[in-house]
């Protein structure tokens, strides 16, 4: 059995999720994924995969929620507007399917990638490192990086 990426499931700090089929993702770069292992207090031991940064281009077809997603407002505004107005992406699952089963939509494995996070204020929801914008072509550009913004990386798309 061979793994093939089928979707990305973005998880927001407030508990919402947004699953994006790989066909709706253009440019994608997740920089320096590393593996950490540990636990906090008495919790279970776990592996986590922190990364240095994320940059992603998402096509207009993804500007919706799926019935399997947890939604607390994206239906009303659309997920693009939600991502731009609320910079609170905390982590993302990379969802895999069995590449030998062409029409399968069953997730056979996932890896959770954690993004750099610095709270903007005392409510600890919004991330100072996250920036995003919607282009004239209605594509969403998201960057989570300590040193660069979406506008700097994708300036030709503004």
Backbone CA torsion sign across 102, 107, 111, 115: positive
Answering whether pTM is above 0.75, one says yes
Cα distance between residue 109 and residue 116, in whole Å: 23
Distance CA 137, CA 145 (A): 24
Q: Looking at the 3D structure of the chain, how many domains does it have? A: 1
* CA neighbor of 90 nearest in space, from 6, 4, 12: 12
Name the residue range of residue 91's domain: 3-157
> What pLDDT is stored for residue 78 in this prediction?
87
> Mind listing the pLDDT tens digit of every residue in the chain (158 residues)?
899 999 999 999 988 999 999 999 999 999 999 999 988 889 999 888 999 999 999 999 999 877 777 666 555 678 999 999 999 999 999 999 999 988 888 999 999 999 999 999 888 889 999 999 999 999 999 999 999 999 999 999 99
Q: Are strands 109-114 and 46-50 parallel, antiparallel or unpaired?
A: parallel
């Amino acid at each position: 059995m061979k793994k093939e990426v089928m979707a990305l499931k973005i998880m927001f700090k407030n508990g919402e999720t947004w699953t994006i089929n790989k066909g709706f993702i253009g440019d994608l770069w997740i920089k320096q994924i590393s593996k950490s292992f540990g636990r906090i207090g008495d919790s279970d031991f776990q592996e986590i995969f922190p990364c240095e940064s994320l940059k992603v281009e998402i096509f207009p077809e993804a500007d919706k929620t799926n019935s399997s997603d947890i939604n607390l407002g994206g239906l009303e505004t659309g997920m693009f507007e939600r991502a731009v107005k609320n910079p609170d992406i905390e982590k993302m699952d990379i969802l895999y399917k069995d590449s030998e089963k062409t029409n399968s939509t069953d997730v056979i494995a996932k890896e959770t990638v954690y993004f750099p996070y610095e709270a903007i204020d005392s409510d600890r929801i919004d991330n100072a490192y996250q920036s995003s914008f919607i282009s004239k072509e209605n594509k969403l550009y998201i960057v989570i990086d300590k040193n660069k913004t979406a506008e700097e990386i994708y300036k030709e798309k503004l």
